[in-house]
Every structure is written in C-alpha cells, then in structure tokens.
Amino acid sequence: MPTTCLRLTPQRNIILEELRGTRSHPTADEVYDMVRRRLPHISLGTIYRNLDYLHAQGLIRKLDKIGSQMRFDASMDPHLHICCMECGKVGDLPEDAASVSVRQEAMLDAEKTFQITGHWLEFHGVCSDCRTKGKIG
Amino acid sequence: MPTTCLRLTPQRNIILEELRGTRSHPTADEVYDMVRRRLPHISLGTIYRNLDYLHAQGLIRKLDKIGSQMRFDASMDPHLHICCMECGKVGDLPEDAASVSVRQEAMLDAEKTFQITGHWLEFHGVCSDCRTKGKIG
DNA sequence: TTAAGAACAGGAACTATTCCTATTTTCTGT
DNA sequence: ACAGAAAATAGGAATAGTTCCTGTTCTTAA
C-alpha cells in the first residue's frame, strides 16, 4: 500500500491537459491564463502548488533555469531546450543536439528557428559537508 | 577614442578585489557584506549596479542560473560549475569535465568534494521572429 | 454518516532585484 | 586650475515572481 497515491483533482487534471496541449513551455501565469478560461475561479496559488505537485509526481518538467520565471513542460521524453535571448521564447532540441558529431544534421531543423549563440552547462550534486551531515543526522 | 573606457571607481575596485579574493561564488548580498567591511556606507544598489558593470566589461562572470539568487565569479578562465542540491554551495570543475572520455580522471578530484547526481544543459540563441525584427527595425 | 485529512480560493507576505531622486564625484576642454 | 557636463553613489521606494497563511470546501475511509 503506497503511502501517497496520485490524486488528480479537477484542477490538477485541467492544468495537466492545458500543459499537454501546448509546446510553448509556458510560465506559471501563462498556465494561469490558460486554465482560467475553463476554471474562472482558480487561484494562482493553486496553479503553483499543483505545478509543483505534478512535477514531484514526475508528470511534468519544471524549467527553473530559463529566464527570470519558471517554465513548465509536459513532454517528458528526453530533449534539450533552447531559449531566445531577445524575447525569452523557449524551443525544443533533440536529445543528441549536444553531440558535435551529429550537430550538423540534427540541429539543422532547430537552427531554422533558432540561431544558436551559446549554451549553459552546469553540474548538480551533493557536497561533502551535506553528505557528512546526512550520515550523522 | 573609445566612447566607453573602463572606469574603476573605488567602489568598483573594492568589489573586484573582494570577488577576486574568494572562490565561493558569492551572491550579491554576500558581496555586500564583504565590501561593507571596507566601505560601510556602500549601498546594495551600488553592489548590483557595479556587479552588472563589471560583468558587462568582461571582468567577472555572472551565474544567473544557479539557485534562486545570482552568483558572481571573478575567475574568467574557462571552467564549469557544480552546485550542491542541499545547501546551494557552488564549486568549480575543469573545462573538460563534460567529456565522458576524460571524466574518470578529471573529475576524480571534484568528486571528492561533490558527488555528481545530474546536470543541466541549455542552449541560447535568437529565434527567427527576433532576427526578422532586427533586420526590419 | 461522520471524522480526518487534503486541496482550494483569496489575498497577504516575502525577497531578490530594479528603479528613482537628490547629492557627490569624476572627467573633459579651455 | 576651473567650470560645466556626465557618471556614479547612497538611500530608500517600487516591482514582481513566488510562497505562505487562513478559513472553507471537497474527498476519502471507516
């Protein structure tokens, strides 16, 4: 018996449906606008809470490194993101776009839309202090 | 005659010195605390403005994708960053840490400190809409 | 049916960052 | 060196994305 099961309230379901119906990687307030057409009384707090919930359940992606606002993405297949430095628009790139060997072919299509000017690569981990604390505490 | 030359005011100079004296990738308010020991009346606005200025001049790096706050780094040689998911601490990785072939050796040292659990890769560019606007406007 | 827990709407609070204004400092040309 | 112009500063107000709080409603399980 799992202690937590997936609870899809009407609000959560509609948020998920709206997110799955777009490829625009919307921000929280864009999701708010989309959902409000169907649930006029939903609150922005519910949007945030449920986007977090859906992300914690592994149903959507949370792009918190792109621009000044969080963005959300319902497509869970492995792929990379490209962000316009002028307007903030976010597009998709194939998973292997980072490999130089395939870049010429694979990126041709994306480069019709986005002219790539740079990238950001950052690693995540746990530092030794926090690992030590985890063992002791 | 260059229209803009580098103007290093006392405030800017001390900010730069303090930043060069640490490897901790401090946030703006951490820089504020460091600098305030030497310039007690400096304002946080000046810290932000001058960190932006130094970044625009290419003297420091601005890490705006790491955590919820901007971080700053005076070491300009090419390298990557690793961020602790528990406490937010930021460390350095060698430039070639992303290459799988050298990863075993090159990362050994960093992995003594950070246990790597994931990464973030994102591309930057200009979308076709913005390129079109740029040509017309 | 009822009690307990979860989720909700609405709005206040929080906080990193930016913006504003009057004042001070720095630079430029004479 | 000096006067005017331009830039930078301190201090604080404003902004905005996100989180938190409270009272109410809904769902679940016994």
- Residue A5 or residue A101, greater confidence: A5
The pLDDT value recorded for residue A134 is 63
What is the reported pLDDT for A110? 59
Give CATH for domain A1-75.
1.10.10.10
The fold of the B10-136 domain, in CATH, is: Arc Repressor Mutant, subunit A (1.10.10)
pLDDT tens, residue by residue, A7-44: 999 999 999 999 999 999 999 999 999 999 999 999 99
- Note whether B37 and B2 are within 8 A (CB): no
pLDDT, tens digit (0-9, with 9 covering 90-100), for A54-87: 999 999 999 999 989 999 999 999 998 989 888 8
Residue of B nearest to A81 (CA): B122
Instruction: Report the distance from CA of residue B4 to the C1' of nucleotide C30 in Å, as an integer.
Output: 23
Rounded, the Å distance between the CA of B43 and C1' of D3 is 30
Q: For residue B119, give the chain A residue with the closest CA.
A: A123
Partners of B116 in the β-ladder: A125
Residue A114, by phi and psi: left (phi above 0), alpha (psi -120 to 50) or beta?
A: beta
SS3 B118: strand
Q: Is the CB of B13 under 7 A from strand C?
A: no
B1-31, pLDDT tens digit by residue?
333 588 999 999 999 999 999 999 999 999 9
Helix A44-56 to helix A28-36 angle (10° resolution) is 110
- What are the beta bridge partners of residue B27? B71
Rounded to whole angstroms, the Cα distance separating B13 from B16 reads 5
Q: How far is B85 from chain A (nearest CA, A)?
A: 6
Question: Strand C: which nucleotides have any atom within 7 A of a protein Cβ?
Answer: 6-12, 16-20, 25-28
B66: chain A residues, CB-CB within 8 Å: 122
Q: Where in chain A is the domain with CATH 1.10.10.10?
A: 1-75
Q: Which secondary-structure segment (H or E) carries A84?
A: strand A79-84
* A93: chain B residues, CB-CB within 8 Å: 123
Which residues in chain A are contacts of B90 at CB distance < 8 A?
none
Whole-number mean pLDDT of chain A? Answer: 86
Nearest residue of chain B to residue A99 (CA atoms): B99
Q: How would you write B47-114 as a 3-class SS string?
A: HHHHHHHHHHCCCCEEECCCCCCCEEECCCCCEEEEEECCCCCEEEEEHHHHCHHHHHHHHHHHHHHE
Percent of chain B at pLDDT > 70 equals 85
Distance of alpha carbon A80 from alpha carbon A125, whole angstroms: 20
